[in-house]
Structure 1
Amino acid sequence: MSHVSGVGRAKFEAKGMIGRAGIGSHAAPSKCSASRLLLALLGFLGVLVFLGLGIWQLERRVWKLDLIARVDQRIHAPVVDAPGSQSWSGFSAADYEYRHVRLAGRFLGGANTLVRAVTELGGGYWVLTPMRSDRGFTVLVNRGFIPQERKALFERESGGFTPTAVVDGLLRISEPGGGFLHSNDPAANRWYSRDVDAIARARGLTDAAPYFIDAEASGAAVWPRGGLTVVSFRNSHLVYALTWFALAVMLAVALARPVFASRRLRGAAR
């Protein structure tokens, strides 16, 4: 009896092991299938994201081409009077920036502001001088660029600079805050951007326009040297769009490859 019981017990245990093995063999493919499904869903989401980014870049390209055309038209349009205070409510770059404008008035040379700049002539400063217009408001005029080595001489000679003048140039929108790595420091008189509001407050200007004017070229022998404004807009949106679309195609192909391989295997097995 004990021998029979031992054999029976052994058979029972063997069946139990086989049963557990069978359960494990079914569970492993189930987990593997779930992982593959999750990866496929993530991959499909990635394709949608890449396609969305590509479409967004195409939309940005349309906007950039419209901006370039609008700015080019404004730069080469006939000169018009600089907008007065009646136009400042709701003032925006889309409506006014890069208009070819004219301003007549008197410079206030004792309130010059030097803004750090790098141009084709090297490192130095933009010279922003307020002009009190004949129409009763004040506009900061970027008279041009001076190199670093001329700063001390310019500051000595410009204090009594108050001539009347007529300035033609491009209307530009304020550049608040500072540069990429430096913030404006009005208290220390250190400026890294042409922040109209901050400069007007620091210089005690009243009725200051919410824009400044980049003066036209002043001649090769004149300092500050005007006309160095570079109007250029980078337009690489088509390249970016094609890159995103290419990534979408590559990911879609990677997702589809196992499906086609599985179909080929099933076809070969028949």
Structure 2
Amino acid sequence: MRRILFLLIFGFAGLVILLWLGLWQMQRLAWKQDVLSEIESRISADPVDLPNLASVERDKYLPVTVTGEMVPGEIHVLVSVKQVGAGYRIIQSFNTDERTILVDRGFVPVTAKEVDRQNGVMKITGNLHWPDEVDGYTPGPDIDANIWFARDVPTLAAALGADPVMLIARSGTDPGITPLPVSATGIPNDHLQYAITWFGLALVWAAMTGYFLWRSRAPSESEAQ
């Protein structure tokens, strides 16, 4: 009886923990879906003027429209696009009447890295963004080849003499550049997979607990004789 009682307590405790983890992930899933919905609504809102003092906390994803001059001189950030392959994001400085900001104009294939592009006066609509793409494994830029590996806004701003504010173009700024507008699709949301994993483990745990209880209650061969 002690062995059966131990199995019952141990099995029930493990099942409760696994089910709680699955339910917790479902709660996280609902929370993440609300966050993503809020981000999508913010991204697709009507554009406004560029704030005088844009900040990461308040103005991330804010849609804005700016008019000014695209300044010659590019930074090429290595990126890969699905079903297209490797290429570069074209980052340039953009002079408005009040300030100079960074503009992510979009994607060009590797073969178009050195192609001349349209500059000068233009009107751009997009979203403010401060991408978090740098970690301990991100290599430093190859300055000589003008190949960068992350959009680190302060570093790019220092290199191009602009304020640390980046506008991701939503509309085209050159026929040869494909805009890569801000989207919530790249934000990971794996909570459903995690929940399924925990519920699956709970099912296996319950089955194994039942099996061991059955084995414990089944008569041994010596008892059967």
Which of 48, 55, 58 does residue 23 from structure 2 map onto? Answer: 55
Which of 226, 237, 248 does residue 179 from structure 2 map onto? Answer: 226
Whole-angstrom CA distance in 2 between matches of 1:231 and 1:258: 47
Whole-angstrom CA distance in 2 between matches of 1:228 and 1:69: 17
Task: State the number of aligned residues.
Answer: 216
- Deviation for aligned residue 1:152: 2.1
Deviation string, structure 1 residues 2-43 (Cα, Å, up to 9, x no partner): xxxxxxxxxxxxxxxxxxxxxxxxxxxx9xx6xx959x74x6
Aligned to 1:78: 46
Whole-angstrom CA distance in 2 between matches of 1:190 and 1:62: 40
Q: Which has the higher helix share?
A: 1
Secondary structure of the 2:113 match is helix
- Deviation for aligned residue 1:172: 1.8
Give the counterpart letter for 2:171 in structure 1. Answer: A
Which of 116, 131, 145 does residue 78 from structure 2 map onto? Answer: 116
- Deviation for aligned residue 1:198: 1.3
- Deviation for aligned residue 1:117: 1.5
Distance 1:257 1:99, change over 3 A: same
Distance 1:129 1:82, change over 3 A: same
Distance 1:104 1:151, change over 3 A: same
Whole-angstrom CA distance in 1 between matches of 2:133 and 2:189: 24
Aligned to 1:213: 167
Aligned to 1:167: 124
Whole-angstrom CA distance in 2 between matches of 1:264 and 1:153: 79
- Deviation for aligned residue 1:82: 2.5
Whole-angstrom CA distance in 1 between matches of 2:168 and 2:51: 14
Whole-angstrom CA distance in 2 between matches of 1:122 and 1:176: 19
Which of 181, 184, 202 does residue 140 from structure 2 map onto? Answer: 184
Aligned to 1:246: 200
Instruction: Give TM-score scaled by structure 2 length.
Output: 0.77
- Deviation for aligned residue 1:237: 2.2
Whole-angstrom CA distance in 1 between matches of 2:140 and 2:12: 47
- Provide the aligned C-alpha RMSD in A: 3.5
- 1:47 and 1:251 in contact (8 A); partners too: yes
- Deviation for aligned residue 1:150: 1.4
Whole-angstrom CA distance in 2 between matches of 1:245 and 1:176: 33
- 1:101 and 1:168 in contact (8 A); partners too: yes
Q: Which runs of 5+ in 1 are unaligned?
A: 1-29
- Deviation for aligned residue 1:227: 4.7
Whole-angstrom CA distance in 1 between matches of 2:212 and 2:26: 32
Aligned to 1:5: none
- Deviation for aligned residue 1:52: 4.2
Greater C-alpha radius of gyration: 1
Give the counterpart letter for 2:152 in structure 1. Answer: D
- 2:66 and 2:96 in contact (8 A); partners too: yes
Aligned to 2:155: 198
